[in-house]
Structure 1
Amino acid sequence: MRIFSFGSSIVSSYWNGAATYYRGCYKYLARLGHEIIFAEPDAYGRQQHRDSEDFSYVESLVYQPGEGLDSMLEQASSADVVIKHSGLGVDDEALERRVLELAAGSAIVFWDVDAPATIARMHLNPHDLFRSVLPHYDAVFTYGGGPWVKEQYLRLGAKAYYTMYNGLDPDTHYRVPPDPSLACDVAFLGNRLPDREARVDELFLRAAELYPEGTFLLGGEGWADKRLPSNVRWIGHVPTGDHNRVNCSAGMVMNINRASMADSGFSPPTRIFEVAGTGSCLLCDDWPGIADCFEPDEELLVVKTAEDVIAALTKYDDAGRRKIGAAFQRRALRDHTYAQRAAQAEIAFQECIAARSPTLAHS
């Protein structure tokens, strides 16, 4: 299949949490023999902060917002599958409408990397453009979701719905030697976002205040003007190529979902699988669906308060943390690889094409 995707960026993780997800899904779809073209706008400084990784598994196209759309859509018109990802940040409304105008032979998929936000947007505005065009897409894929997200999308008119969780790419996320310059008791990598800040305040920053003898490492953009406890060190944007070093240098690594993702649940983010790949011990914020992916207390540690974080730090020695991290890694390699996700996506694409052209599918 020839798959043409519009997304925020596959070459840059700068202010772009979906980068690892795109890379994992499309890299392994390419390994299944599919041709991947990924079009992304030159926006938000991402092209000036490209990651130094091998993206040869995709044909990467960078276009100027607005003026480059006609050319991109013309190239997309010959694809078997055309995908509009959510959250490009520019041209979203135009693309949501215009991809549906492509040749009838293409299956058109909306692949949502932030389903709670998209659903909230449609509920808040009954006249939202996407609400009117959604029933014309052949399918909706979501980065996470669970029962609530599926129910919402089907009620809003989606013809078909598929959950495509994040996963582990063992070629990219694996154990490396710890870096003494990054040594800490707890590390958290995440951009400062209004929907997550209160949870970071409680689980990470208040934990640091309650545990002054500990060392805490904070990565991500947006924290420059945030008051931080004296035992928290902020290191700014961390390119995805450096995530292994950070995760392997920390005694424990923390995951903190955005509030909307935590409320809807069933949305394990990329950082969970990045940490699993390194076999590090994860402190995970609480949300529905964790146990569907990993076993709490055996493969990861669920924390609801700053006090829970301190309890975990004091309860588990290095051997205990290694045991949990090793179990975490084994489970991810068994059940949650991007090779498995790509195989699921391939089947879903085939079903979309068959539903669009039943005569051809059975000829």
Structure 2
Amino acid sequence: MFIVKLKLCIMQFVQETLTPNGYLQEIMSMLQLSGVNLWFNDSHVIKDLSFQVQQGEIVSLLGPSGCGKTTVLRLIAGLEKPWSGCISLANEVISSKELILEPHKREIGFLFQDYALFPHLTVAQNVGWGLSGYNKKRTQKRTREMLKNIRMIEHENKYPHELSGGEQQRVALARARAPDPNLILLDEPFSGLDTTLRNTIREETNSMLRQQGATVVMVTHDPDEAMLMADRIVLMNEGRVMQIGTPGEIYSFPTSIFAASFFGEVNHFSGNVASNQVQTIAGFFPNQKHKNGCEVDVVIRPDAIKLGALDSDSAIKKEVYVCSVKYTGRFSYVWVAFDEAAEPEKYILVRQSGCFNKRVGMKLHLNVSKNDIFLFAKNSN
């Protein structure tokens, strides 16, 4: 009898948490933005923006400079007030047109792009600065605990100017984490570091945040950084959300030309569907879903194409001519065309690892999976 009741309870729970599409609803959203709009004078900078962040999740706001990423962080932090829509933290509304909770009451940690460490305070004093509700003994204990976490305990009496860029970044992160906030906001946290140090600090930061179960919203314009750090990506452009998904979902199943091309160089040709093929200036490509007569854009990533012997699984079973080759050490960039006398605008770019040892003028088969040929209705952005 107990087992039967347990099964009934489980079935009821699943039914109550299923969406109309059959997916389980998200049980606990730490942060939720719903229909948020913001105007600066006559400029509509944030346009009907909605997304949510689960407890313990790292979400990246990714997009080009000026698309509104940092403005979204400022809205979440309470430094800007939405014109419409609302923002909730831990199921409590913290921002709307009618209400705005003061920034210092939001229990949000903010790591600024320039770290914003106080130059007149020591490392320990900087980390303990946000612990205003703690007594002296508890502040010292929490400060030393955070410094041990970031391996900076031996630098507790130093000042910011005595630290390297990477050390300053770690101190700023510890200060943001010290009050144990509900949410941490990171604004381009690694942009000021050189490439080698950036990779190291990024990995250390990611590891620390995940070990502590932190809930994070991180702004970046670097697709690789978002792919490496985030559980999910909110891809933005011109104040709008273009796509939301895991790194793998957005990369493999882009819903727009913008999403497909944001992660690196692409081959992009416009064409028309005829006889179930897309006719472009570069040649014919297989059509998967659009009706004859439709205008479409064809997008193929250079590293999705393989050159060599015919692959029976290839969606394109035609030979191409090698038109140009550039070798950069790690990769070879190869431009090919279906027509030997093709003009450059008809070239298809292929990126292959290592040195490409075929000469210009050679004929090879162009192999690409149908899943790597993205077709978008014209003007779908």
Name whichever structure is richer in helix by fraction.
Answer: 1
Name the TM-score class by shorter chain: under 0.3
TM-score (norm 2): 0.27
Greater relative contact order (Cα < 8 A, sep 6+): 1
The structure whose Rg is larger is 2
Structure having the larger proportion of residues in strand: 2
What TM-score, normalized to structure 1? 0.27
